[in-house]
Amino acid sequence: MATIALAWVLANPVVSAPIVGASKPRHLEDAAAALDITLTDEETAAIEEHYTPRNATGMSAADRPPAR
């Protein structure tokens, strides 16, 4: 399931750099396998049916303290 989720993230033009947390070698293998998956429009629609976009949160560059 994580491979399909990552394939969706990789196909999403809003995401410029997905963050993959891998604690085991198979996690990297699953992430790499996502590069070979192309989701159909129907598959993408099925995934996005339950997805609710949210605004990004956290510190923006303007909010960060100056570097030392």
pLDDT of residue 36: 96
Given a contact cutoff of 8 angstroms between Cβ atoms, the answer to whether 28 and 56 are in contact is: no
14 vs 8 pLDDT, higher one: 8
**Can you tell me the distance from the alpha carbon of 20 to that of 31, in angstroms, rounded to the nearest whole number?**
7
Please give the biggest Cα pair distance in the chain. 50
Q: CA–CA distance from 38 to each of 10, 32, 54 (Å)?
A: 10, 13, 24
Across residues 24-32, what is the average pLDDT?
Answer: 91
Written as six digits, the tokens of 10 are 């990789």
